[in-house]
Amino acid sequence: MGDVEVLALDRVDFAASAGEFDVILGPSGSGKSTFLNLVGGLDTPTSGEAWFLDHPLARASEAALTRYRRDHVGFVFQFYNLVPSLTARENVKLVTEISRRPMRPEEALDLVGLADRMNHFPAQLSGGEQQRVAIARAIAKRPDLLLCDEPTGALDSKTGVVVLEALLRVNAEFGTTTLVITHNVAIRAIAHRVINFADGRIASVETNQTRLPASAISW
């Protein structure tokens, strides 16, 4: 930025195995979103390597990154980014229409517990329900990788737990490798591994010997 060089990430070295559910913690500005954006092909690093299986991401063309995101990655953000004039089913259908082997929108919404709300518009749904529509939209294309940046950031504890249950269910049923950024340390207990960022680096990685179900945590 101007004359000031910001190292958003510095010497980060990390690999996730297929099917892992990892939680990413760290103070504001520690590099979590930058990391997720590199993994998701939304951004490219100035140096270093990033790989998804045998796809090199660090110096891939925009077109190759677009294909990578479309074919392999689902994104969930803090704010749900639903199209207000479309129903829950239609919001999910936007994605299934451009995917190679999608679920039916009804199946994706059923997975997140919204079978009975398919014809509702976003304004007719609670925050947690809207986030579950966003999750259904992200998983309907059967992504290999699900990247979530503060998915429960706007939600109260009870609603957030329902959203986490939906993420865990998708991970368990489809083996979707899932990375979840959160400021909420209580959420660490549901992860296989917890990645702690500080000052643009991975300060530590912890493995949970026992994991808690989402229903056992609160904040």
The stretch among 30-38, 51-59, 74-82, 157-165 that binds ligand ATP (CB under 6 A) is 30-38
170-199 binders of ligand ATP (CB under 6 A): 197
| 28 binds ligand ATP per the rule CB under 6 A | yes
Instruction: Report the residue number, 29 or 127, with the smaller CB distance to ligand ATP.
Output: 29
| 131 binds ligand ATP per the rule CB under 6 A | no
| 6 binds ligand ATP per the rule CB under 6 A | yes
Residue 7 and residue 199: Cα distance in Å, rounded?
Answer: 9
| 19 binds ligand ATP per the rule CB under 6 A | no
SS3 state at 148: strand
Residue 217 and residue 199: Cα distance in Å, rounded?
Answer: 28
**Backbone φ and ψ of 145, nearest 5°:** -130, 130
Angle, vertex CA 207, rays to CA 10 and CA 36, nearest 5: 40
| 96 binds ligand ATP per the rule CB under 6 A | no
Contact 47, 53 (CB under 8 A): no
Instruction: Give the residue among 173, 143, 136 at the shortest CA–CA distance from 151.
Output: 136
Instruction: Report the residue number, 32 or 72, with the smaller CB distance to ligand ATP.
Output: 32
Instruction: Say how many residues touch ligand ATP, by CB under 6 A.
Output: 12
- Two tokens at 160? 């957030």
| 209 binds ligand ATP per the rule CB under 6 A | no
Residues engaged in binding ligand ATP (CB under 6 A): 1, 6, 8, 26, 28-34, 197
